[in-house]
Amino acid sequence: MAYEEIINGLNLKDTELRLGLPGTEEEEQQQLQEVSCVRSNKRQFHETTDEHNLKEESSPPAKTQIVGWPPVRSNRKNNNKNVSYMKVSMDGAPYLRKIDLKMYKNYSELLKALENMFKFTIGEYSEREGYKGSGFVPTYEDKDGDWMLVGDVPWDMFSSSCQKLRIMKRSEAPPAS
């Protein structure tokens, strides 16, 4: 069952920042973190059953991407080993966000998602100098309570030990050691 994102008459897909090449909509459905505004499409169900069945086959279960659905508290969601929610904050942004780390396979996917979410650009990463070319530095808190630079350790190690993320202003970040 697919849901169309139509907010205030504008089809936001036209102007949406995408994670992949244009035309690769199915992939995007999977990578889309959350659909913030979902209209009930009951009329579609009644009137276009065949079309509906086709839609069901081609697009993956969008139900997992609806904000706040199913109505289960996030601490329950985290008990399921298939998801791993963590808080993401950005210096200067008015509110926290949450992401499911299990939705990303590598740093590049994660960083692109963060750029999308907070509407900024992360610089280029190098092992020696950290992130260059932007005013922001992505950091995370690991299991031991230490704040680390995102990208310093292999992805698997990062994804299993990351507790929360913070996108720091470059001015606040300690110099690369």
Partner 1 sequence: ALAAREKKKEEEEEMNYFPDEVIEHVFDFVTSHKDRNAISLVCKSWFKIERYSRQRVFIGNCYAVNPVRLLRRFPCLKSLTLKGKPHFADFNLVPHEWGGFVQPWIEALARSRVGLEELRLKRMVVTDESLELLSRSFSSFKSLVLVSCEGFTTDGLASIAANCRHLRDLDLQENEIDDHRGQWLSCFPDTCTTLVTLNFACLEGETNLVALERLVARSPNLKSLKLNRAVPLDALARLMACAPQIVDLGVGSYENDPDSESYLKLEAAIKKCTSLRSLSGFLEAAPHCLSAFHPICHNLTSLNLSYAAEINGSHLIKLIQHCKKLQRLWILDSIGDKGLVVVASTCKELQELRVFPSDLLGVGNTAVTEEGLVAISAGCPKLHSILYFCQQMTNAALITVAKNCPNFVRFRLCILEPNKPDHLTSQPLDEGFGAIVQACKNLRRLSLSGLLTDQIFLYIGMFATELEMLSIAFAGDTDKGMLYVLNGCKKMRKLEIRDSPFGDTALLADVNKYETMRSLWMSSCEVTLGGCKRLAQKAPWLNVEIIDENDNNRMEQNGHEESQKVDKLYLYRTVVGTRTDAPPFVSIL
| Cβ nearer to partner 1, comparing 76 with 128 | 76
| Cβ nearer to partner 1, comparing 58 with 64 | 64
Minimum distance, C-beta of residue 77 to partner 1, in the bound complex (Å): 6
* CA–CA gap between residue 86 and residue 70 (Å, rounded): 18
- Answer yes or no: are the C-beta atoms of 117 and 100 closer than 8 Å: no
Q: Counting Cβ atoms within 10 Å, is residue 127 exposed (0-12), middle (13-18) or buried (19+)?
A: exposed
Interface residues with partner 1 (CB under 8 A) are: 1, 7-8, 36-42, 45, 61, 63-64, 66-77, 79-83, 94-96, 98, 145, 163
- Answer yes or no: are the C-beta atoms of 53 and 46 closer than 8 Å: no
Asked whether the bond before 70 is cis by omega within 30 degrees of 0, the reply is yes
| Cβ nearer to partner 1, comparing 13 with 63 | 63
| Cβ nearer to partner 1, comparing 42 with 128 | 42
Minimum distance, C-beta of residue 150 to partner 1, in the bound complex (Å): 20
Minimum distance, C-beta of residue 145 to partner 1, in the bound complex (Å): 6
- Answer yes or no: are the C-beta atoms of 84 and 64 closer than 8 Å: no
